[in-house]
Amino acid sequence: MIDHGFGKSDALRARAHAMIPGGAHTYAKGDDQYPVLSPGFIARGSGSHVWDVDGNEYIEYGMGNRAVGLGHAYPEIVEAAMRAMQDGSNFTRPHMLEPACAEAFLETIPCAEMVKFCKDGSDATSGAVRLARAYTGRDMIACCADHPFFSTDDWFIGTTPMNSGIPEATRRLTTTFRYSDPDSLRDLFSQHHGKIAAVIMEASRGDDPPANYLQSVQRICHENGALLIFDEMITGFRWHVGGAQQLYGVTPDLSCFGKALGNGFSVSALAGRREIMRLGGLDHTDRPRVFLLSTTHGAETHALAAAIATMRVYRNEPVIEHLYRQGSNLRAGIEAAVRARGLEGVFKVAGRDCCLAFATLDREGQASQPFRTLFLQETIKRGILMPSLVVSYAHSDEDVNLTIEAMDGALGVYARALEDGVERHLVGRPSQVVFRRFNHADASEASARLAVVR
């Protein structure tokens, strides 16, 4: 059980909210996503463990919103970044690490022919959208409605309930389709004939796609003159070293990587076919120039050095195998605890073993934020910080066993709350979904997107 309480975190919360809108720089890290009884601020991390500002220690399963695949402060990555930083981080001309990192990336992602680095996933996906529009001469984008997040930019945020500030004209340029339903996509192309530049989607959000589904999507795109963009922020360096595209045998026209690419350092990548990517370059004369990506900090030396070192570890060590093994062990232990508590219908583990998530349901089988909040409260109390069930290369057998034991205790409280009411066990207000139009709770919006934004 947590020994030190959250006094320092609570004091920092008040200061942070007075200076920072939302109190954090990622909505998924906001106070509204966690119970009242939770760590507000992390002081440090090592491997699979983190310590908050009050000195409480946790086994962590968020891993920086899936950005830390190897473990916090992984020595080889930290050392590579420090060596690069000692020689300066940003220069007037390109640094020699830029082609070195590009070579390492193209060797790791064999279907990519050119790559451009940037700092976050939104830069990469929005760059892909701009490139697709320039290449096809079309304006509209189709994104998968079953995948929760593609970008902070207007073309995507306009599709969410948090679309305040997005012009209506911009919102009309993005439309949505359903995952695993090829007819849903065909209908879009029929409704917007000759207008859709690209389809952007994750190859998988958790479970494997239906047989031949991704191939069908690719065929529908190309038959209609549109590009296929894979968002591999989550699947890259987790499903397979070469990304979900290599695992499933489907090569998109463009793909976007980030998160685990730098093991927590800020680096992302837009990659794809040379014929398309070259439009952002200097050598072509047959088409207008595309202002693709141009960021002052896009090629900071320490981030590229971290990416090179990270990719080396993934190529040379059994990282992916470890993620699958520990995820499988975690799933098996949790599901056994769920069965033992008689909670099969209300608590579910979902997703691929390398990237698990959980669902909290009420007695009627409906997704429940109050029960999610209670579960987070009880696991935090037992030393586990787990907005998801994402393992890293650093998660040990002992970590997994301790987690299963803690989750069993939390599920015992969950079972009691089903009988006598969640409000009798939850301290304070429930957490809320990110995508809601107003800060007050709205049940109709809460049911729209229950996934956590990355």
Query: Is residue 290 located within the same domain as residue 405?
Result: no
Q: Are residues 134 and 256 in the same domain?
A: yes
| 189, 293: one domain | yes
Indicate whether 81 and 217 sit together in one domain.
yes
Could you tell me if 85 and 186 lie in one domain? yes
Verify that 29 and 143 share a domain, yes or no. Answer: no
Residue 136 covered by a domain: yes
pLDDT value for 441 = 55
Residue at 61 is within a domain? yes
Condensed to tens digits (0 to 9), the pLDDT of residues 136-183 reads 999 999 999 999 899 988 899 999 898 999 999 999 999 999 999 999
- Note whether 325 and 428 are same-domain residues: yes
* Average pLDDT along the chain: 93
Domain with 121 in it: 75-316
Same domain, 111 and 235: yes
Asked whether residue 2 is domain-assigned, the answer is no
Answer whether residue 19 is part of any domain: yes
Residue with tokens 């409260």: 377
99 in any annotated domain: yes
Q: Is residue 454 part of a domain?
A: no
pLDDT at 28: 82
Q: Distance of alpha carbon 178 from its chain centroid, rounded?
A: 19
Question: Total structural domains in the chain?
Answer: 2
451 domain-assigned = no
- CATH code of the domain in which 432 resides: 3.90.1150.10
Does residue 428 sit in the same domain as residue 384? yes
Of 292, 316, 340, which marks where a domain is finished?
316
CATH at 104: 3.40.640.10
- Domain assignment present for residue 159? The answer is yes
Neighbours of 87 (CB within 10 A): 12
pLDDT tens column, 394-440: 999 999 999 999 999 999 999 999 999 999 999 988 888 776 888 87
For the chain, give the secondary structure using H, E and C. CCCCCCHHHHHHHHHHHHHCHHHCCCHHHCHHHCCCCCCCCEEEEEECEEEECCCCEEEECCHHHHCCCCCECCHHHHHHHHHHHCCCCCCCCCCCHHHHHHHHHHHHCCCCCEEEEECCHHHHHHHHHHHHHHHHCCCEEEEECCCCCCCCCHHHHCCCCCCCCCCHHHHCCEEEECCCCHHHHHHHHHHCCCCEEEEEECCCCCCCCCCCHHHHHHHHHHHCCCEEEEECCCCECCCECCCHHHHHCCCCCEEEECHHHHCCCCCEEEEECHHHHHHHCCCCCCCCCCCCCCCCCCCCHHHHHHHHHHHHHHHHCCHHHHHHHHHHHHHHHHHHHHHHCCCCCCEEEEEECCEEEEEEECCCCCECHHHHHHHHHHHHHCCEECCCECCCCCCCHHHHHHHHHHHHHHHHHHHHHHHHCHHHCCCCCCCCCCCCCCCCCCHHHHCCCCCCCC
316, 340, 363 - which closes a domain: 316
| Domain match, 17 and 144 both | no
Q: Where among 257, 291, 316 does a domain terminate?
A: 316
In tens digits, what is the pLDDT along the chain, a chain of 454 residues?
A: 887 899 999 999 989 988 988 888 887 888 888 899 999 999 999 999 999 999 999 999 999 999 999 999 999 999 999 999 999 999 999 999 999 999 999 999 988 999 999 999 999 999 999 999 999 999 999 999 999 899 988 899 999 898 999 999 999 999 999 999 999 999 999 999 999 999 999 999 888 999 999 999 999 999 999 999 999 999 999 999 999 999 999 999 999 999 999 999 999 999 999 999 999 999 999 999 999 988 889 899 999 999 999 999 999 999 999 999 999 999 999 999 999 999 999 999 999 999 999 999 999 999 999 999 999 999 999 999 999 999 999 999 999 999 999 999 999 999 999 999 999 999 988 888 776 888 875 443 333 333 334 4
| 219-228 core/surface letters (b: 16 or more CB in 10 A; e: else) | ebbeebebbb
Residues 298 and 324 both lie in one domain:
no
431 and 413 in one domain? yes
